[in-house]
Amino acid sequence: MATPDQHLDETRAQGIAELEAFLRIPSISSQPDQADNVRRAAAYLAEQYERIGLENIEVMPTPGHPVVYADWVRDPERPTVLLYGHYDVQPVDPIDLWSSPPFEPVQRDGQLFARGASDDKGQIAIHWQAIDALMRTTGELPVNLKVIAEGEEEIGSQHFDEFVAAHTERLAADYTVVSDTAMSGKGLPAITYALRGLLYFELRVETASTDLHSGEFGGIAPNPIQLLSELLVRLKDPSGHILVPGFYDGVRPISDEERRQFERLPVDQADYQRMYGLSGLAGEPGFTPRERAWARPTLDANGVWGGYQGPGQKTIIPAWAAAKLSCRLVPDQDANAVSRALRDHIESARPRGARITLTQLDHAEPWITPTDHPLLRAGAAALTKAYGVEPVLTRSGGSIGAVHSMSRHLHTPCLLVGFVQPDCFMHAPDERLDLDSFFAGRKAALHLWEEVGQLPRSKLQ
């Protein structure tokens, strides 16, 4: 009988065909007219889980798009792992920038082009095909496995937190694995051990009950655009240092080992500027671009508007102006404390005669798994075995709502490991999946379950 590795070698074409069928389903969670296709993608995934021998398969409703659940729980002596992915995808606009139709998968130059190829359908397929190889050749898995696939990740996991809270017993596990991140480069695996948290606000400055004639009221009425601009420049100094008192309280220093890991990555300042058309980089002095993006907190204006913006002219003093603000938080900041500090700072800077409203729209605490945790060591061993090189330990500057929810409700250590390339154009036209990385990722997933299966049970005693 073939080994699991041999089975994967023999089923490369089949694996691509399975993924391409998945990619043809336009499961765009943000577009109401695609709701049926989102459900169709969930049904397709449930069919794959049934085909490969998982059990208790269910397409579980939420107030939005469903969550697909399956499990294989047989041996009380083995650790139980919860595997997360998402089957919804981003919109495809602007469509004219795609070199081929986004839901008609095309292979070119060793790449598979389609929306969702890397984020996250390709990574879901890597796991189901590795599980299939184990089941077909050994008849079992090295772990007890629970699998969930979400249908709303690309719209902020709107109902996932309440879903996890309502199903904590069913989702209980010793460890969690998420594959929704990228490698550090071709042949260079990565483990993500920290995510920044998020606070998101809308700031509104109001000075009148209606727009005013700029000839009659110019020089008399306060201008909310001016006042908003003055507030914004009081949030940070020109070097990028945040001026909100107490904002940096609790920020965990970057260790020497973390700096060593960050320096292993092949992207430098010139690469950033070239890849994204930047004229230069900004941020706090004394920190590298990687350190600023991953391990330092931020406060940014994400949008500013107010007054007349149509064609031609309209001579007014606007009644109000507004801005969107986001804070990226790092361990061990307290999101509630930062929110209070920002409110206090804006109130202390409130211009005379202005009515200020600061509305909080989102909140996620920063997340981190210690780099010496046994789960991360198991992941590193598996990736080293698969790729022949020690993985880079990385942080992420962003947030993954599902990770924050599972951490908060399930209290389970989490391993974030991706198998796609950093230049896979997630969320952009011509999203692609490097096929060498896809085939290597399937084998890496085999080793991952073998290594995690050797871990002790941490919770479910």
pLDDT of residue 320: 98
Nearest-CA neighbor of 422 among 276, 283, 237, 211?
Answer: 276
Give pLDDT, residue 461: 43
Q: Which amino acid, 429?
A: P
- Answer for the pair 395, 192: CB distance below 8 angstroms, yes or no: yes
| pLDDT score at 267 | 66
Averaged over successive runs of 10 residues, the pLDDT of the chain (461 residues) comes to 94 98 98 97 98 98 98 96 97 96 98 97 98 97 98 93 97 96 92 94 97 94 96 94 97 93 78 78 88 94 95 96 96 95 96 93 90 95 96 90 92 95 92 97 97 85 43
Looking at residue 459, its pLDDT comes to 56
Q: Are 129 and 53 in contact (CB under 8 A)?
A: no
Kindly report the number of other CB atoms within 10 A of residue 341's CB atom: 19
- Structural domains of the chain sorted by starting position, each given as residue range(s) with its CATH number in brackets: 4-195+366-452 (3.40.630.10), 198-262+292-362 (3.30.70.360)
- Residue 265 is predicted with a pLDDT of 80
pLDDT of residue 290: 87
At 282 the pLDDT is 87
Predicted pLDDT of residue 381: 97
> pTM surpassing 0.75?
yes
